[in-house]
Amino acid sequence: MLRKRVLVLGSTGSIGKSTLEVADNLRDEILVVGLAAHSQWEKLLSQTLQYAPVGVALSDPAAAQRLEAEISRQKLPRPPKVYRGPQGLVDLVRATEGEVVVAAISGAAGLPASIAALETGKDLALANKESLVLAGSLLTRLARDKGRQVLPVDSEHSAIFQSLLAGRPEEVESVILTASGGPFRQKSLEEMRQVTKAEALQHPTWVMGAKITIDSATLMNKALEVIEARWLFDLAPEQIRVVVHPQSIIHSLVQFHDGSIICQLGPPDMKIPIQYALTFPRRRALPVKRLRLEEVGHLNFEAPDTERFPAIRLAYEVLRLGGTAAAVFNSANEVAVTAFLRDEIKFVEILECVEQTIRDHEIIADPSLDTLMAADAWGRKQATAHLTRYPSTRHRVVKDQSVLKE
Ligand code: NDP
Ligand code: MG
């Protein structure tokens, strides 16, 4: 059998590394031909030595230069071509022949490579939900025009994708996304005002990259997933529901017209949805922990509290607004999460900033890619302007100056 040639973008991250473990599990079926990341050149070098890809890319040009120098020092029999800078990622995807691109870069930075993947006739195994939130209309249209698939890697969307096989599209009433509720599910609004970065980075059920872990604590991750589901499965906003399910065992559900609900369960291990995206419509053996329901004991469900977690309410508003709203929603969040991770703002200020930025935005309908990118940039600028007004940011500035005086 000819092996499927796969490019892994974001290979040094949480999803990227799990993807390479899946590739190890499917050596007879998958050939890794491309690897890309941002700046972790040493990690990318060791992956290059292990997988001997045709091409590698780092979006940080200086890191790419280090990588290239190190690769040439290694005197490999077939050294990979090294691509540099943000455009290098796109060039890697365009120049490397393959069947599937695993999009596992975090943030809107993943969009150009996702577009390049579809444009060059590759399927897109999509973890990078931000690119679909930003440009869902364009990516789904492009996939249709090119006859390619966008295969969900996100566990909830993989669960929906699998559950949808139980009926026809016109028989679907709604999809129900499950949310763990994050580490602050039981905290009061007062308590949430005081939570620390370390607490926010402690996800109760999943181990993930920093950005998505914070998004899970604010429930912004679920908000982005509502928009992701809208595009992946071509649903109306009122067909998408969210239920909090703290154990993260049921990964999501589909309700059909006859009242039946079909769902997918499994241990919280991203290798399962990653492998399914790569082997669909088949299922290959995978040595992950088996789920034993008698050990789980209870499965609990509750409605999300949109008072404490405004993100989900905003997601529906953004879907209703349409146009450039989602681009701004996403980019403002990226700015706010980065500021929170740098200890510049408080946890609750993340969503305050996102909401304010959305309120300031004048929506443009039917946006082109350029318009979406401009809205993304506008959202970043506006969110940054909001953040400088927060008392906690001012406090940091004062603190930093006192540090300088010492
Ligand atoms: P990580 O932070 O662990 O990894 C991010 C990866 O993207 C790294 O390889 C990083 O490279 C690379 N990267 C970041 N910015 C850029 C850039 N500007 N250009 C090129 N590469 C870049 O994130 P995760 O693996 O947790 O998440 C990746 C995506 O998958 C996100 O969109 C997330 O929402 C989604 N996802 C993740 C899940 C999870 O369980 N982790 C579950 C469902 C979805 P470097 O290491 O060099 O910085
Ligand atoms: Mg998810």
* pLDDT per residue as tens digits for the range 65-100: 999 999 999 999 999 999 999 999 999 999 999 999
What would the 3-class secondary structure string for the chain be?
CCCEEEEEECCCCHHHHHHHHHHHHCCCCEEEEEEEECCCHHHHHHHHHHHCCCEEEECCHHHHHHHHHHHHHHCCCCCCEEEEHHHHHHHHHHHCCCCEEEECCCCHHHHHHHHHHHHCCCEEEECCHHHHHHHHHHHHHHHHHHCCCEEECCHHHHHHHHHHHHCCHHHEEEEEEEECCCCCCCCCHHHHCCCCHHHHCCCCCCCCCHHHHHHHHHCHHHHHHHHHHHHHCCCCHHHEEEEECCCCCEEEEEEECCCCEEEEECCCCCHHHHHHHHHCCCCCCCCCCCCCHHHHCCCCCECCCCCCCCHHHHHHHHHHHCCCHHHHHHHHHHHHHHHHHCCCCCHHHHHHHHHHHHHHCCCCCCCCHHHHHHHHHHHHHHHHHHHCCCHHHHHHHHHHHHHHHC
Q: Report the pLDDT value the prediction gives residue 1, as an integer from 0 to 100.
A: 75
Q: How far is the CA of 211 from the centre of ligand 1 (A)?
A: 8
Q: Report the pLDDT value the prediction gives residue 389, as an integer from 0 to 100.
A: 84
114 lines ligand 1 (CB under 6 A): no
| Percent of the chain residues past pLDDT 70, beyond the cut | 96
Q: Which pLDDT tens digit goes with each residue over 137-160?
A: 999 999 999 999 999 999 999 999
Q: How far is the CA of 80 from the centre of ligand 2 (A)?
A: 33
Q: Report the pLDDT value the prediction gives residue 396, as an integer from 0 to 100.
A: 57
CA-130 nearest atom, ligand 1? 32
106 lines ligand 1 (CB under 6 A): yes
Whether the predicted pLDDT of 310 surpasses 90 = yes
Task: Using pLDDT thresholds of 50, 70 and 90, give the confidence band for residue 393.
Answer: low
Q: Report the pLDDT value the prediction gives residue 65, as an integer from 0 to 100.
A: 98
Q: Report the pLDDT value the prediction gives residue 255, as an integer from 0 to 100.
A: 98
205 lines ligand 1 (CB under 6 A): no
Task: Using pLDDT thresholds of 50, 70 and 90, give the confidence band for residue 397.
Answer: very low
16 lines ligand 1 (CB under 6 A): yes
130 lines ligand 1 (CB under 6 A): yes
Whether the model clears a pTM of 0.85, i.e. scores above it, the answer is: yes
**Which domains does the chain carry?**
4-153 (3.40.50.720)
10 lines ligand 1 (CB under 6 A): yes
CA-221 nearest atom, ligand 1? 34
CA-107 nearest atom, ligand 1? 32
Mean pLDDT along residues 187-209: 93
Whether the predicted pLDDT of 399 surpasses 50 = no
Q: Which pLDDT tens digit goes with each residue over 122-131?
A: 999 999 999 9
Task: Using pLDDT thresholds of 50, 70 and 90, give the confidence band for residue 203.
Answer: confident
Whether the predicted pLDDT of 350 surpasses 90 = yes
Sign of the alpha-carbon torsion through 322, 327, 330, 333: negative
13 lines ligand 1 (CB under 6 A): yes
The average confidence (pLDDT) of the chain is 95
Note whether 125 and 151 are within 8 A (CB).
Answer: yes
Q: Tell me which of 18, 106, 220, 248 to substitute to probe ligand 1's pocket, judged by most ligand atoms within 8 Å of the beta carbon.
A: 106
